[in-house]
């Protein structure tokens, strides 16, 4: 049976053995055009408003595809939604989640059952109905690479109807408060450098301090600091080194000052 929805499983730095699920079309659809995107630039017609919705319900093949793959990987760690762009743009996201949860419960796993994980770029979380859907995932990996509008425009290059970064920070605060205690919110921060002299990357101290203060307000369960690992959309982007990642970790720890929040570096 040709694969329609799944990628991998891959060994992921943050999730262990992870099976990727694409709930969008075969082309990238996103509200951002991040300079570091590892799936390439967002084409003009596919850079969409956070109001934009597609309706792509799972076909019967989704259940079959999951069942056939799960049998080969009884040690899978994560069923991870979010490839090819922003998965919350699909109105039917929860239908995919329910089927995955259902199929997961039918199998015998050798270790703990794989966690149901969602990647989101956070741009649609200001809608109540989107947070309602997102909070059902056991682990939400939400992007916040920047915490001021200048860095936001440079790094994530949002579509022009995406709200200001402050609205996004407030919606992440709401999401954390609304999530059931058994589910976890991880904020992922990708920090990069630039070879281009006139391009300020998000690895600038103002942005790092702004992100730290935003994280202190959001109070996520987990903070993940990482950098690019594959070819970025823009040629001038390159990864920060491990020393800098550690330094950012110390800055966050000092400002956030909350031992309950896990800070992980990848
Ligand atoms: S939000 Fe994700 S998919 Fe969209 S452009 Fe940025 S990195 Fe790529």
Residue nearest to atom 7 of ligand 1 (CA): 37
| Percent above pLDDT 70 for the chain | 100
Using pLDDT thresholds of 50, 70 and 90, give the confidence band for residue 215: very high
Confidence of residue 156 (pLDDT cuts 50, 70, 90): very high
Mean pLDDT value of segment 23-41: 95
Pocket flag, ligand 1, residue 119 (CB < 6 Å): no
What is residue 148's predicted lDDT score, i.e. its pLDDT?
A: 98
DSSP string, the chain: ---SSEEEEEEETTTEEEEEE--S-SS-BBS---TT-TT-PPPGGGB--TT--B--PPPHHHHHHHHHHHTT-TT--EEEE--SB-GGGBTTHHHHHHHHHHHHHTS--SSSPPEEEEEE-STTTTSHHHHHHHTTSSEEEEE---SSHHHHHHHT---TTSPPHHHHHHHHHHHHHHS-TTSEEEEEEE-EEES-TT---S-SHHHHHHHHHHHHHH--SEEEEE---S--SSTTEEE--HHHHHHHHHHHHHHH--TTSEEEE-
pTM equals 0.96
Pairing of strands 222-226, 262-265: parallel
CB of 120 closer than 6 angstroms to any ligand 1 atom? no
Q: Where are the domains of the chain?
A: 6-265
Which atom of ligand 1 sits closest to the CA of residue 190?
Answer: 7
- Residue 30 Cβ < 6 Å to ligand 1: yes
Quote the CA–CA distance of 209 and 215 in Å, as a whole number: 10
Which CATH number does 6-265 carry? 3.20.20.70
Q: Which two tokens stand for residue 226?
A: 């990482």
The pLDDT value recorded for residue 14 is 86
End-to-end CA distance of the chain: 35
Instruction: Give me the pLDDT at residue 108, please.
Output: 83
By most ligand atoms within 8 Å of CB, the mutation choice from 7, 34, 50 for ligand 1 is: 34
CA of 121 to the centre of ligand 1 (A): 7
Q: pLDDT band for position 83 (50/70/90)? A: confident
Q: Provide the mean pLDDT of the chain.
A: 96
Q: Say what the pLDDT of residue 26 is.
A: 87
Listed in sequence order, the residues at least 6 apart from 50 whose beta carbon sits closer than 8 Å to its beta carbon are 31, 123, 124, 126, 127, 159, 161, 162, 163
Distance between Cα 108 and ligand 1 center (Å): 34
Nearest alpha carbon, ligand 1 atom 3: 85
Instruction: For 220-251, write each residue's pLDDT tens digit.
Output: 999 999 999 999 999 999 999 999 999 999 99
């Amino acid at each position: 049976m040709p694969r329609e929805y799944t990628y991998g499983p891959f060994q992921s730095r943050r999730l262990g053995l992870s099976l990727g699920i694409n709930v969008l079309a075969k082309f990238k659809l996103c509200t951002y055009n991040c300079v570091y995107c590892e799936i390439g630039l967002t084409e003009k017609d596919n850079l969409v408003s956070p109001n934009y919705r597609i309706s792509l319900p799972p076909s019967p093949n989704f259940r079959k595809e999951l069942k056939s793959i799960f049998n080969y990987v009884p040690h899978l760690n994560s069923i991870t939604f979010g490839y090819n762009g922003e998965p919350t743009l699909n109105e039917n996201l929860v239908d995919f989640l329910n089927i995955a949860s259902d199929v997961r419960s039918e199998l015998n796993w050798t270790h703990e059952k794989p966690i149901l994980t969602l990647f989101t770029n956070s741009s649609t979380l200001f809608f109540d109905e989107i947070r309602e859907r997102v909070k059902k995932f056991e682990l939400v990996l939400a992007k916040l690479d920047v915490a001021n509008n200048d860095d936001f425009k440079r790094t994530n290059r949002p579509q022009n109807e995406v709200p200001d970064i402050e609205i996004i920070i407030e919606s992440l605060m709401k999401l954390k408060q609304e999530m059931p205690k058994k589910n976890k919110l991880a904020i992922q921060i990708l920090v990069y450098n630039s070879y281009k002299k006139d391009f300020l990357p998000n690895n600038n101290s103002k942005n790092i301090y702004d992100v730290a203060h935003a994280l202190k307000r959001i109070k996520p369960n987990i903070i993940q600091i990482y950098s690019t690992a594959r070819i970025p959309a823009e040629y001038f982007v390159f990864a920060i080194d491990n020393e800098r990642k550690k330094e950012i970790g110390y800055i966050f720890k000092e400002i956030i000052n909350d031992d309950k929040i896990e800070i992980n570096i990848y």
